[in-house]
Every structure is written in C-alpha cells, then in structure tokens.
C-alpha cells in the first residue's frame, strides 16, 4: 500500500527534454493541464450557449480534461490525446484562454438579426496564373449511389454534364 501511494509518483518516468527548441519540460504538466482546462471551461461560459465556438471549445476541453484526470502519467496522456506533447498542450490551452478573452471582447456573435452587410461584386478577370479552384468531376461511384437513392437516371446525366462543363 505504501509503495502505491508514495512510491508510484517517485517511480514515474521523468521527461528530460521535449526535443523542441524553446519548449521546456513541465514536471507537473498533468496538474497544470487540469488547471488550465478547468479555467477554460469557466471562461467559455461567457460565450452564448448556442455559438459553435463555445460548443467546440467545451467539447474538446472536456475530453482533454477527462483524459488528464484519468491518467497519472504524462506519456499516457500524450498517447490518448494524440495531439502532441503535454508541454505543447499547455501552450495550446494558454492560447485558447487568450483567444476566449479576445472573442468576448470582439463579440462576433453580437451582430443584430436585421444587420445587412454590403456585398461588393467584382467582375475583374482572374489572372491566368491564379488557379480557379474548380472541383473536378466526382467519382462514378457517387453518381451510382445517387441514382440508387433517388431512382432518377436523368439527374445523373444532368450532373455529369455539369461536371464536365466545369472542368473544361
């Protein structure tokens, strides 16, 4: 019992270096991450509940916090999260906290419903060296699946013709 309670932290593998210039090893990375993720979940409460940004931040932060609480060893945390070293995760969490503060300041979700933005049309020709980024035709399997679902073979012909016009 004594070895489990006292000895296990002493037997934990110690990280010597991150291998990344300028990124020092954090010996208590797990505790730091738990603190940062908890703070992130508190700070994000200032963002409206229905905003996608809040939903995304809460989702990945809760997942990462859960992993940090379940795992004792930094190696297992890194393995389970698969998002880099714990020191990198600390930097990401610190950056996310800064971003949350900026997002609250900028209030991008505070646009009134009746707000109309000006749309500027520009008919200037695109220079030849700039790619137009037109997608190529979809694979034939897509059209077969679409036909099987819709049961409409004319739709396949129209879609194929449009795709070939776009690539020309």
Which tens digits make up the pLDDT trace of 53-90?
999 999 999 999 999 999 999 999 999 999 999 999 99
pLDDT of residue 164: 52
Number of domains in the chain: 1
Taking the model in full, what pTM does it have? 0.65
Q: Could you tell me if residue 168 is inside a domain? A: no
Q: Which structural domain, as residue segments, surrounds residue 54?
A: 28-106
Q: Check if the beta carbon of residue 17 is closer than 8 Å to that of residue 23.
A: no
Q: Could you tell me if residue 3 is inside a domain? A: no
Q: Could you tell me if residue 95 is inside a domain? A: yes
For 11, the 3-state DSSP assignment is helix
Q: Could you tell me if residue 45 is inside a domain? A: yes
Higher pLDDT among residues 148 and 74, named by residue: 74
Q: Could you tell me if residue 39 is inside a domain? A: yes
């Amino acid at each position: 019992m004594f070895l489990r309670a006292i000895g296990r932290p002493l037997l934990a593998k110690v990280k010597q270096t991150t291998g990344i210039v300028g990124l020092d090893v954090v010996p208590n990375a797990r505790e730091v991450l738990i603190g940062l993720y908890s703070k992130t979940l508190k700070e994000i409460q200032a963002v409206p509940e229905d905003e996608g940004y809040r939903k995304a931040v809460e989702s990945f932060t809760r997942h990462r916090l859960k992993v940090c609480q379940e795992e004792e060893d930094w190696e297992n945390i890194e393995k389970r999260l698969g998002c880099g070293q714990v020191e990198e995760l600390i930097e990401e969490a610190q950056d996310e906290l800064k971003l949350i503060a900026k997002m609250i300041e900028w209030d991008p979700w505070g646009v009134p419903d009746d707000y109309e933005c000006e749309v500027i049309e520009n008919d200037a020709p695109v220079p030849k060296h700039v790619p137009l980024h037109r997608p190529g035709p979809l694979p034939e399997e897509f059209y077969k699946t679409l036909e099987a679902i819709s049961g409409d073979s004319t739709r396949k012909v129209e879609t194929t013709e449009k795709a070939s016009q776009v690539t020309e």
